[in-house]
Amino acid sequence: MSAVAVPAAGPAARMTMIQALRSAMDVMLERDPNVVIYGEDVGYFGGVFRCTEGLQARHGRTRVFDAPISEGGIVGSAIGMAAYGLRPVVEIQFADYVYPAYDQIVSEAARLRYRSVGDFTAPITIRMPCGGGIYGGQTHSQSPEVLFTHVCGLRTVMPSNPYDAKGLLIASIECDDPVIFLEPKRLYNGPFDGHHERPLVPWSKHPLGEVPEGYYTVPLESAAVRRGGADLTVLAYGTMVYVAEAAAAETGIDAEIVDLRSLWPLDLDTIVASVKKTGRCVVVHEATRSSGFGAELVSLVQEHCFFHLEAPIERVTGWDTPYPHAQEWAYFPGPQRVGAAMRRTMEA
């Protein structure tokens, strides 16, 4: 898979992230007869979040179909299909349900290229909604990204907007490596800045809600600077990109916000360039703190930018507890907590 973006051609339309993901799968089903899509309720029903709605009617029951409630079976069968030349796109209904499939992902999909000395690959895309902010409680709100970034042989991706979601999903489907494609479900219908007491802002009112209707890719391993700034760098991904934007606006701190997009492999050059410019860094993610992906980011910044740092690196995360239903917003890293970390970094 090339790291060079393929520019979009043709007309664009306003889309939610759900519609953009559906459009990506529709495009790839049309372009590549080896693409198949399946999972629990994915076919006739169109998925619990309707990401695959209408695809079975359009492309047929042999291309888009339902699977039994068996995550290990879904991923295991996808590995076999991939070894024989297909490109399965499978959905785990919630990221919280992926654990029964973890052995298949780690022991088989991630290792297939290496153990076969390149004779076989596992071009599988495993989609899964992740994160909280929807009152889903501990079994529908988890952010397990670090369980996959730790595994050599896997790629881990998390888009933050409809434009990137479509381009990254197409790039993932075309990639010959297995890709864990995490979708922050709180962003499905609009950007969310952590202010749950405010009305939802739809993607139709956001620039990144304009999505080309045809084929294009966003390169894997590429970060994006969402907001330029000179005071400090915020490293974020998924929903936390918008929380960081809100925190910068509310504190008045000129923060440069880097949306990682591809968690692993990582666009280290963009991170290093930003931190060397600003001299300060705040890392933000929704997952639990201990051994979270933020620890890896802090380590990399310390390793590559030590002599440019003007203050200790701050980390804002979820707490080391199950995701609470009753105390959702005490757990969720909102703009107040992120803003406080920004101030500490500027005052150090």
> Token pair for residue 153?
């042989």
Sign of the CA dihedral with 24 first, then 30, 32, and 34 last: positive
| The Cα angle at residue 238 between residues 234 and 240, in degrees rounded to 5 | 45
3-state secondary structure of 291: coil
**Across the chain, which distance is largest between two alpha carbons, in Å?**
60
What span, in angstroms and rounded, lies between the C-alpha atoms of 25 and 35?
9
What span, in angstroms and rounded, lies between the C-alpha atoms of 29 and 133?
32
What span, in angstroms and rounded, lies between the C-alpha atoms of 124 and 86?
9
Q: Among all residues, which ones are annotated catalytic?
A: 140
Sign of the CA dihedral with 56 first, then 62, 64, and 69 last: positive
What span, in angstroms and rounded, lies between the C-alpha atoms of 314 and 337?
11
